[in-house]
Amino acid sequence: MAAIFARHPRYVLGAGFLILCTFLLLAERQSSPFKPRYPAFPQSAGDTQSLSVRLSAAEETYQRVLKNRKGLIHKFGPTPDKIEMFPADVRPWPPYTVWDFFPAAFNCPHEVERIGALGDGGKWVCGLSRVATKPDCVVYSVGINHESSFEAEVLERTTGCQIWGYDFSVSQFGPEIPASLSYRTHFFPYGLSGSDRHGPDDEQKMYTLQTLMKMNGHTFIDILKIDIEAWEFDTLTSLIQAYHSQNLPLPFGQLQLEIHAWHKSFPEYLQFWEGLEKMGLRPFWTEPNLVYQNYNRGEAAALAEYSFINIMGNHDLLSSA
């Protein structure tokens, strides 16, 4: 080594310097781990700044998706009336379905987890912990169909949530709800619609969400679950028009919605979806209804589950107070 140093001192010093820099750089990386732009979850109940930062970043991401949607419409349209919901199997085939235009691109600023069954019946929820101990937590579940694993887990995981269930096709909640928790449930054989109306002989009573809330004395719903076999278009459009005309935010914190896109054109669907967005609803999770698709092979994949957070108003998902 001494001989090498004597012959090439500058080279040896240079090599030693590079080795020293490498060790220092590695040591710095180990002592200073990568810090993300914003934390995954609030650090404490009063960490309002990090929550607002995450909401702002999520909205920024979502706005980029809106621009990309316009680009995708132009690519395959170039106008909405030229877009097919589910293009036929022809060559060359357009590589899209309607769901590709409406991804669940908003990041829920709290934990996201599936509540209820892993199969049909379960729903993806944003921040159940935010209302877990809320004494006046309100949940509406519209569309029961003999399956209440979602409602049962909400009851088991919270201390103050009460659930109002509506479905004129059944007479009660599903069997999953334990008797010990049934006192926090309220079932009515009513349907949800865009207007109040009754069928023949006063059957199949249909009410708007506003009417149901007034009947129950509610002004806000923490979690709203809707599965009403395509009635969601009429129901939510009327609801949006009513609240938008009064310049009021929608009266719920989040929405779990199964969308039935049967017989809808792309312009009709786009108008419906943009109405949801206009009122502050942002999708944070989606999945196709593969159970329906499995038993109806050959049909278009026209059913999809979406979960939305409402970014307007003042509620537990938006505030750390």
Q: Are residues 100 and 237 in the same domain?
A: yes
What are the CA-CA distances from residue 157 to residues 17, 25, 118, 130, 148 (Å)?
59, 47, 17, 11, 14
What's the pLDDT score for residue 164?
A: 98
Q: Are residues 6 and 73 in the same domain?
A: no
Nearest to 306 by CA among 252, 234, 225, 222: 225
Least confident of 41-55, 160-174, 261-275: 41-55
pLDDT at 18 over 90: no
pLDDT digits (tens, 9 = 90+) for 298-312: 788 999 999 999 999
Query: Is residue 184 domain-resident?
Result: yes
> What is the CA angle 117-320-115, rounded to 5?
0
Distance CA 192, CA 6 (A): 91
More confident site: 92 or 226 = 226
pLDDT at 277 over 60: yes
Q: Are residues 27 and 138 in the same domain?
A: no
Distance CA 114, CA 122 (A): 6
Query: Is residue 286 domain-resident?
Result: yes
Q: Are residues 13 and 93 in the same domain?
A: no
Nearest to 192 by CA among 214, 212, 215: 212
Query: Is residue 37 domain-resident?
Result: no
Locate all alpha helices (DSSP H) within the chain, ordered by sequence.
Answer: 2-7, 9-31, 48-76, 149-157, 209-216, 232-245, 266-278, 290-295
Distance CA 272, CA 234 (A): 9
Q: In this structure, are residues 304 and 288 in contact, taking their beta carbons and an 8 Å threshold?
A: yes
Helices 232-245, 209-216: inter-axial angle, 10-degree rounding: 70
pLDDT at 29 over 70: no
Q: What percent of the chain has pLDDT over 70?
A: 84
What's the pLDDT score for residue 19?
A: 57
What's the pLDDT score for residue 34?
A: 31
Query: Is residue 75 domain-resident?
Result: yes
| Domain tally, the chain | 2
Mean pLDDT of 258-274: 97
Q: Are residues 53 and 25 in the same domain?
A: no
Q: Are residues 90 and 27 in the same domain?
A: no
Q: How confident is the model at residue 92 (pLDDT cuts 50, 70, 90)?
A: confident
Q: Are residues 91 and 20 in the same domain?
A: no
Query: Is residue 95 domain-resident?
Result: yes
Query: Is residue 284 domain-resident?
Result: yes
Mean pLDDT of 145-155: 95
Query: Is residue 196 domain-resident?
Result: yes
Q: Are residues 24 and 95 in the same domain?
A: no
Non-local CB neighbours of 254 within 8 Å, separated by 6+ positions: 125, 126, 222, 223, 224, 307, 308, 309, 310, 317
Count of alpha carbons within 13 angstroms of residue 203, beta-carbon side = 5
Q: Are residues 168 and 212 in the same domain?
A: yes
* CATH label of the domain that carries residue 215: 3.40.50.150
Query: Is residue 38 domain-resident?
Result: no
Q: How confident is the model at residue 48 (pLDDT cuts 50, 70, 90)?
A: low
CA 319 to chain centre: 18
What's the pLDDT score for residue 97?
A: 94
SS3 assignment for 36-103 = CCCCCCCCCCCCHHHHHHHHHHHHHHHHHHHHHHHHHHHHHCCCHHHCCCCCCCCCCCCCCCHHHHCC
Q: Are residues 54 and 164 in the same domain?
A: yes
Mean pLDDT of 153-157: 98
Give me the chain's average pLDDT, please.
87
pLDDT at 243 over 90: yes
Q: Are residues 241 and 168 in the same domain?
A: yes
Mean pLDDT of 29-50: 45
What are the CA-CA distances from residue 87 to residues 70, 84, 90, 264, 298 (Å)?
18, 5, 8, 13, 13
What's the pLDDT score for residue 35?
A: 36
Q: Are residues 232 and 170 in the same domain?
A: yes
Expressed as residue numbers, the domain containing 226 is 48-310
Mean pLDDT of 139-156: 96
More confident site: 12 or 79 = 79
| CB crowding 84-113: b at 16 or more within 10 Å, else e | ebbeeeeeeeeebbbbebbebbbbbbbebb
Distance CA 268, CA 256 (A): 21
> What is the CA angle 305-194-318, rounded to 5?
55
